Amino acid sequence: GNEQYEINRFSEFSRNYREENLKATRFWSIFVPIINTLNELGNLLTLVFGAWGVMVSHLTIGELAALLTYVTLLNKPINRFNGLVNIIQSSGVSAKRIFQILDTKVEVKEKENAINLTSIQGNLKFEEMEFAYHNNQSVIRNFNLDIQPGMSVALVGSSGSGKSTVAKIAARFYDPQKGRVLLDGHDLQDISLSSLRFGEADATRTHIGIVPQETLLLYGTVRENIAYGKLDATDQEIEAAAKAANAHDFIMDFPDGYKSIIGEQGVKLSGGQRQRIAIARVLLKNPQIVILDEATSALDSESEQLIQESIKQLFKGRTSLVIAHRLSTIADVDLIVVLEKGEIVETGTHTELIAQGGRYAYLYELQFVKSGN
């Protein structure tokens, strides 16, 4: 699925980079010897003609020495110019890559007269939605769903059925080709992106928070990574969010606490810890609607428990859309929607769907048997 797609993209990217670098190196491997040869040739010619000049006696030894010194002095700037060309060459390659990244197509555009929603009830509605990635075959079809304010809805279905795609469209990372997504009756495309999902200075105006399937942590401190949800948050606010997300304790175990750097040189986080940081991020932003795309990776039962608790905090009093891989997570949501091949095949509560004995009952049975409890 997605993973393979990203891997392919990355190897393509690396291959291009390698080729550009090779090109630069090839040029360079010809250029350097030529410049060096010319340089040495200059010395040699000066020496030969100088010696001849002294012999036919219109040049003194002193003058020849001076001349040789001048030529040698000239070598230095030439060599420096050499180095400069090298730097320009390789930065040219890097700049090209940087511009390609900057040019990466942004999938959604904000309308010029987009509205800033100040406060919302939290009604999220999908109408006849159809979606395809970049003119490929459609991955979501005939998608209709009305999530009332404060309601919790779970989306389940096999891998590749389109669950994450729905989550991304709901947070407007993509626009559907057909149909609409409405927030309190406003088309998402009419709402400014900053009031929709980006952290605004006034966080009460950011309405949708998403915990993605793969949490992206930035190079920086733990604090910065949580504050990403609300850049001007105070230490107290950040700590409160981390506590609600069950992240405070493991953060305090790090040598520098909230100031610990995340990454290669700093502290490394487990999948469960990353997810709790992501939940803290969203809690800090305090949006009216939350979307949780549960990580697929298996968690040990302790962090599973901690995550369940933090998810409860996340859903409290909010409209929520959860994508659950472990069906135990969603036994008490208001509505379960079963997605297969991009289409809704079943909806109902846990009890209803189990009684119905359809797709959900089958998936539930499957997990029940697999986990053996």
Q: Which residues bind Mg ion (CB under 5 A)?
A: 164, 213
- The answer to whether 317 and 238 are in contact (CB under 8 A) is no
Residue 41 CA to residue 228 CA, distance in Å, equals: 60
Note whether 139 binds ligand ATP by CB under 6 A: yes
Note whether 3 binds ligand ATP by CB under 6 A: no
CB of 194 to ligand ATP, least distance (A): 24
Size of the site for ligand ATP (CB under 6 A): 15
Using alpha carbons, select from 368, 277, 275, 279 the residue that is nearest to residue 320: 279
Q: Which does 27 bind (CB under 5 to 8 A by kind): Mg ion, ligand ATP, none?
A: none
Note whether 275 binds ligand ATP by CB under 6 A: no
Which 3 state secondary structure label does DSSP give 144?
strand
User: What's phi and psi for 164, nearest 5 deg?
Assistant: -65, -35
Residue type, position 84, single letter? L
Show the site string, 208-237: x = touches ligand ATP by CB under 6 A, - = not. -----x------------------------
- The answer to whether 293 and 211 are in contact (CB under 8 A) is yes
Place of tokens 């609409």: 180
Note whether 160 binds ligand ATP by CB under 6 A: yes
- The answer to whether 188 and 181 are in contact (CB under 8 A) is yes
Using alpha carbons, select from 361, 364, 345 the residue that is nearest to residue 353: 361
Place of tokens 């846990």: 350
**Helices (H) and strands (E) in the chain — how many of each?**
11, 12
* Binding residue for ligand ATP, selected from 10, 133, 198, 362, defined by CB under 6 A: 133
* Binding residue for ligand ATP, selected from 39, 123, 152, 164, defined by CB under 6 A: 164
Closest to ligand ATP by CB, 2 or 234: 2
Note whether 162 binds ligand ATP by CB under 6 A: yes
Q: Which residues, listed in sequence order, are joined to residue 289 by a DSSP beta bridge?
A: 208, 319
CB of 165 to ligand ATP, least distance (A): 3
Using the contact rule CB under 6 A, the part of the chain among 115-123, 155-163, 178-186, 243-251 near ligand ATP is: 155-163
CB of 168 to Mg ion, least distance (A): 9
- The answer to whether 89 and 112 are in contact (CB under 8 A) is no
CB of 95 to ligand ATP, least distance (A): 27
Note whether 10 binds ligand ATP by CB under 6 A: no
Interface residues toward ligand ATP, by CB under 6 A = 1-2, 5, 133, 139, 157, 159-165, 213, 296
